[in-house]
Amino acid sequence: MYIWMYQSNIDSWDDTQTAEWTPYPDDVSAVIEKAFNAGLGHIFIDQCYKIDLEKLVQVNIEDVHRQRRIRRQICMLYVNNNENIEDKTGILKRLCFPLETSPRNSTAIDTLYRGSPFIRDWLLTFNYGQFVLTFDTIFPALLNGLKDEGEKENEQKSIINEIVQELNAVRDKTSENKERDRMKMLANCCAKLYTKHCYIFRVVNTALRENDREKLHTLGPYCYVLYNYVGRPCEDFFSIRRYFWHKFHSTESSSVTVYRGDYITSERIEEYRQAAGNKHKYFKWLPFVSTSLKQNVAENFGFNVTYVIELRRHSCDDQFTFLDQNTHYKQEEELLLRPGTRFRVTAVQYDNLTRRPLIYIKILPTYVSHLR
């Protein structure tokens, strides 16, 4: 299966920037692929753009000088009889999202911001420094924020209404429940919405990656709830005694390895190479990071590097979660990392088969295990 993508940088012809590739909507991608297979030189989409299939550029009809690069990308999807191929592209889009725009490699950042500066600053602004939030306080801000962002993104009204209905269902269903249970159900809903085939994951991660303070009001509540959802496994250990019993008696493997592709500059690759094995050199990603337990899934996208990510169980439990329950794609083995996760590069090797660097990463425990 093939999909079509366009380079979404502000200036797609500036080769000094890291290229950001965004998949076309499924129906548009299918039309472009059909035209490509038919040998057409160009087609028009949405009465706004001309797709030049020979030069591989998207041209704005009203201003021919406004052009973007496009490309055709193989997409190896593993679909069973109960799954929809269009739904599967939602996973692809999360795994394709560019993780960074500029290097961040100082532990001082983690010490100062305790993970995500965006979420921390929203909390301080929204709750005036009080670290206890109630369901009734955060719910309307979260719902209205997602609704506003959907309208700004020109999302289909039916999709926005579905999101509002899902959130309102949580409010109504839990109205008589304890506060802790209400917040837990809200977090479950937010995690599932993250995997929904819509605008949410993209606008959220763009705001986090860019640390866009103009989005604090609209996206801060959702980011806060999802951030704490990822760290929630630690809450299952209600006592120190139970925590250490589980740590030393668990039969689970002490670590888990996941994979993630990315497209980064040659300078960035060299920086990782120089940092490999240096225990005093740290990096961090600011958005939520979707990863896969399947290496071949991570390698089937149009990236120039593959991250091989080691997560130590128990010591790093507050920095990742498996999206196996609250997800629209139960067949996909997806693991989500928290924003602001620190990591160290342990090795950089070249894979002769995929012809791309393998960057081995070790996720490190945070200074603060949970943002309250």
Of the candidates 316, 313, 334, 312, the one whose C-alpha atom is nearest the C-alpha of residue 325 is 334
Instruction: Encode pLDDT of 235-247 as tens digits.
Output: 443 344 444 444 4
Intervals of the chain under pLDDT 50: 78-86, 103-108, 111-113, 234-248, 368-372
Distances (CA, A) of 63 to 32, 49, 70, 71: 21, 10, 17, 21
Summarised one tens digit per residue, pLDDT across range 93-109 is: 787 777 876 544 443 35
Between the alpha carbon of residue 170 and those of residues 53, 305, 347, the distances in Å are 47, 40, 45
Please provide residue 34's backbone torsions phi and psi, each rounded to the nearest 5 degrees.
-65, -40
DSSP state of 282: -
Kindly state the helix (H) or strand (E) to which residue 234 belongs, with its residue range. none
pTM: 0.74
Cα(67)–Cα(173) distance, rounded to whole angstroms?
A: 49
Residue 297 phi/psi, 5-degree rounding, is -65, -45
DSSP letters of 20-75? -EEEPPHHHHHHHHHHHHTT-SEEEETTTEEEETTTTEEEESS-TT-EEEEEEEE-
Token couple for 291: 């990863």
Domains of the chain, by residue range, sit at 2-74, 117-236, 251-363
- Give the pLDDT score at 338: 92
Q: How many CA atoms lie within 13 A of 93 on its CB side?
A: 26
Q: Are 4 and 20 in contact (CB under 8 A)?
A: no
Q: Mind listing the pLDDT tens digit for each residue in 29-38?
A: 878 988 998 8
What per-residue confidence (pLDDT) applies to 220? 97
pLDDT at residue 358, as a whole number = 94
| Geometric angle at alpha carbon 105, from 297 and 232, rounded to 5° | 60
* Interacting residues of 164 by C-beta distance below 8 A, sequence separation 6+: 143, 147
pLDDT in tens, 9-20: 777 777 777 677
Residue 115 has phi, psi (to 5 degrees) of: 110, -95
Q: Per DSSP, what are the bridge partners of residue 285?
A: 341
Instruction: Return the pLDDT at 129.
Output: 66
Q: Which amino acid is at 40?
A: L
Q: Which pLDDT does position 329 carry in this prediction? A: 62
Pairing outcome for strands 305-312 and 341-351: unpaired
Q: How far apart are CA 172 and CA 134, in angstroms?
A: 15
Is 124 within 8 Å of 218 (Cβ atoms)? no
pLDDT of residue 324: 73
The strand pair at 57-60 and 49-52 is best described as: antiparallel
pLDDT given for residue 307 in this prediction: 93
Query: What would the CATH number be for the domain defined by 2-74?
Result: 3.30.720.50
Residue by residue, DSSP assigns 150-200 as HHHTT--HHHHHHHHHHHHHHHHHTTTS-HHHHHHHHHHHHHHHHTSSSSH
Cα–Cα distance for residue pair 306/356, rounded to 1 Å: 7
Distances (CA, A) of 172 to 105, 168, 182, 342: 44, 6, 10, 38
Angstrom distance (rounded) from CA 154 to CA 364:
39
Query: What stretches of the chain adopt beta strand conformation (E)?
Result: 2-7, 21-23, 42-45, 49-52, 57-60, 67-74, 255-262, 283-285, 289-292, 305-312, 320-322, 334-337, 341-351, 356-363
- Report d(CA 201, CA 93) in Å as an integer: 9
Topology classification of domain 251-363: Toxin ADP-ribosyltransferase; Chain A, domain 1 (3.90.176)
